[in-house]
Amino acid sequence: MGCVTPRVCENCAYPDEELVLVRRVYVTPETWDTPASHQVVDETELWCVSCRSQYPYELADDGEDDGEEEQD
Ligand SMILES: [Zn+2]
CA of 50 to the centre of ligand 1 (A): 6
Domain assignment present for residue 71? The answer is no
User: Residue 58: is its pLDDT beyond 80?
Assistant: yes
Q: Where would I find the H helices in the chain?
A: 49-54
* pLDDT grade for 61, boundaries at 50, 70 and 90: confident
pTM over 0.75: no
Q: State the total domains in the chain.
A: 1
Tell me what the pLDDT averaged over the chain comes to.
86
| Residue pLDDT, tens place only, 11-29 | 999 998 889 999 999 999 9
Task: Examine residue 29 and state whether it is found in any structural domain, yes or no.
Answer: yes
Give the pLDDT mean for 35-61: 94
Q: Which structural domain range is residue 41 located in? A: 1-62
Q: How far apart are CA 33 and CA 20, in angstroms?
A: 36
Tell me if 70 is assigned to some domain: no
Q: Which residues pair with 37 in a beta bridge?
A: 28
Q: How much distance in Å is there from the Cα of 33 to the middle of ligand 1?
A: 34
